[in-house]
Structure 1
Amino acid sequence: MRFSGNLLILEKDNHKRESLETIFSFLGLSCQSGDVDDCISYFDAEESNVDICILGDIDGFNYKEFIISHANTAFLLCSENSHEDLKEQPNFMGEIGNDPNYDEIVSLLHYCQSFRSMRRLSSKSGDGASALIKMLVGQDKAITNVRRLIEQVATKDTSVLILGESGTGKEVVARAIHELSDRKDKAFVPVNCGAIPAELLESELFGHEKGAFTGAISAHEGRFELAEGGTIFLDEIGDMPFQMQVKLLRVLQERQFERVGSNKPIKSDVRIIAATHQNLEKMVAEKTFRQDLFYRLNVFPIETPPLRERTDDIPLLVQELVNRHSKIQKATVRFTQRAMLQLMSCPWPGNVRELSNIVERLLILHPNEIVDVNELPVTYRGGKLEDDPYEERMALLDNFSVPLQGDELQEEGFFEDNDNRPIDLPPLPVIEGERDMAQAFMPTLSPEGINLKDMVASIEISMIKQALTQSNGVVAKASEILGLRRTTLVEKMKKYGIASTN
Structure 2
Amino acid sequence: MEEMGFASKPYILIAEDQQDIARGLALVLTETGAEVMTTSTGEQALEYIMRNPVDVVITDIRMPGIGGISLLEKIKEHRPRIEVIVLTAFGSIESAIEAMKKGAYHYVTKPFSNDELLIVVRRAVQEKRFHEELEYLRETVGKSYAFENIIGRNWRMQEVFETVRKVAPSRAPILIQGESGTGKELIARAIHQNSPRAKHRFMGINAAALPESLLEAELFGYKKGAFTGADYDKKGLLVEASQGTVFLDEIGSMSLAFQSKLLRVIQEMEVTPVGATEHVNIDVRFIAATNIDLEKAIKEGAFREDLYYRLKVVTIELPPLRERKEDIESFVSFFIERYNKEFGKRIKGMNEAAKKALMDYHWPGNI
Higher relative contact order (CA 8 A, sep 6+): 2
Q: 2:355 aligns with which of 313, 323, 340?
A: 340
Tell me if 1:320 matches 2:334.
yes
Which one-letter code corresponds to 1:192 in the other structure? Answer: N
Q: 1:223 aligns with which of 225, 237, 243?
A: 237
Residue of structure 2 in register with 1:183 after alignment: 197
Residue of structure 2 in register with 1:109 after alignment: none
8 Å CA contact retained: 1:207, 1:259: yes
| 1:297 CA displacement | 0.2
The change in CA–CA distance for 1:232 and 1:332 in structure 2 (over 3 A counts) is farther
- Which structure 1 segments of 5+ residues have no match? 1-124, 354-502
The change in CA–CA distance for 1:244 and 1:275 in structure 2 (over 3 A counts) is same
Supply the distance in 1 between the matched residues of 2:214 and 2:227 (Cα, whole angstroms): 11
| 1:204 CA displacement | 1.1
Q: Give 1 or 2 for the bigger CA radius of gyration.
A: 1
Q: 1:131 aligns with which of 137, 141, 144?
A: 144
Tell me if 1:247 matches 2:261.
yes
Q: 1:160 aligns with which of 166, 170, 174?
A: 174
Residue of structure 1 in register with 2:187 after alignment: 173
| 1:303 CA displacement | 0.6
Which one-letter code corresponds to 1:248 in the other structure? Answer: L
Residue of structure 2 in register with 1:488 after alignment: none
Q: 1:293 aligns with which of 307, 315, 319?
A: 307
The change in CA–CA distance for 1:134 and 1:195 in structure 2 (over 3 A counts) is farther
Aligned 1:39-188 pairs, distance under 5 A: 127=140, 129-132=142-145, 133-134=147-148, 136-188=150-202
Tell me if 1:283 matches 2:297.
yes
Supply the distance in 2 between the matched residues of 1:281 and 1:129 (Cα, whole angstroms): 35
Supply the distance in 2 between the matched residues of 1:135 and 1:237 (Cα, whole angstroms): 27
| 1:126 CA displacement | 8.3
The change in CA–CA distance for 1:126 and 1:173 in structure 2 (over 3 A counts) is farther
| 1:199 CA displacement | 1.9
Which one-letter code corresponds to 2:144 in the other structure? Answer: A
Tell me if 1:272 matches 2:286.
yes
Supply the distance in 1 between the matched residues of 2:302 and 2:143 (Cα, whole angstroms): 38
Q: Could you say what secondary structure the match of 2:235 adopts?
A: coil
Q: Please state which structure has a larger fraction of its residues in strand.
A: 2
> Once the two structures are superposed, what CA deviation does each residue of 1:424-454 show, in whole Å capped at 9, x if it has no partner?
xxxxxxxxxxxxxxxxxxxxxxxxxxxxxxx
The change in CA–CA distance for 1:301 and 1:325 in structure 2 (over 3 A counts) is farther
Task: Tell which deviates more after alignment, 330-339 or 248-257.
Answer: 330-339
- Which structure 2 segments of 5+ residues have no match? 1-137
Q: Could you say what secondary structure the match of 1:335 adopts?
A: coil
Residue of structure 1 in register with 2:62 after alignment: none
Supply the distance in 1 between the matched residues of 2:254 and 2:363 (Cα, whole angstroms): 27
8 Å CA contact retained: 1:135, 1:317: no
Q: How many residues align?
A: 228
Supply the distance in 1 between the matched residues of 2:329 and 2:290 (Cα, whole angstroms): 27
> Once the two structures are superposed, what CA deviation does each residue of 1:203-247 show, in whole Å capped at 9, x if it has no partner?
011111111101112222221012111000000000011111111
Supply the distance in 1 between the matched residues of 2:143 and 2:309 (Cα, whole angstroms): 31
Q: 1:310 aligns with which of 324, 337, 341?
A: 324
Alignment RMSD, CA only?
Answer: 1.7
8 Å CA contact retained: 1:154, 1:177: yes
The change in CA–CA distance for 1:127 and 1:220 in structure 2 (over 3 A counts) is same
Residue of structure 2 in register with 1:212 after alignment: 226
Residue of structure 2 in register with 1:450 after alignment: none
| 1:128 CA displacement | 5.9
Residue of structure 2 in register with 1:263 after alignment: 277
The change in CA–CA distance for 1:314 and 1:128 in structure 2 (over 3 A counts) is farther
Supply the distance in 2 between the matched residues of 1:134 and 1:348 (Cα, whole angstroms): 24
Residue of structure 2 in register with 1:398 after alignment: none
Supply the distance in 2 between the matched residues of 1:315 and 1:211 (Cα, whole angstroms): 56
8 Å CA contact retained: 1:136, 1:147: no
Identity of aligned residues (%): 43
8 Å CA contact retained: 1:128, 1:179: no
Residue of structure 2 in register with 1:27 after alignment: none
Q: 2:217 aligns with which of 195, 203, 206?
A: 203
Task: Tell which deviates more after alignment, 208-217 or 177-186.
Answer: 208-217
Which one-letter code corresponds to 1:215 in the other structure? Answer: G
> Once the two structures are superposed, what CA deviation does each residue of 1:166-222 show, in whole Å capped at 9, x if it has no partner?
000000000000000000000000000011111211101111111110111222222
Aligned 1:431-442 pairs, distance under 5 A: none
Aligned 1:24-39 pairs, distance under 5 A: none
Per the normalisation by structure 2, the TM-score is 0.60
Which one-letter code corresponds to 1:265 in the other structure? Answer: H
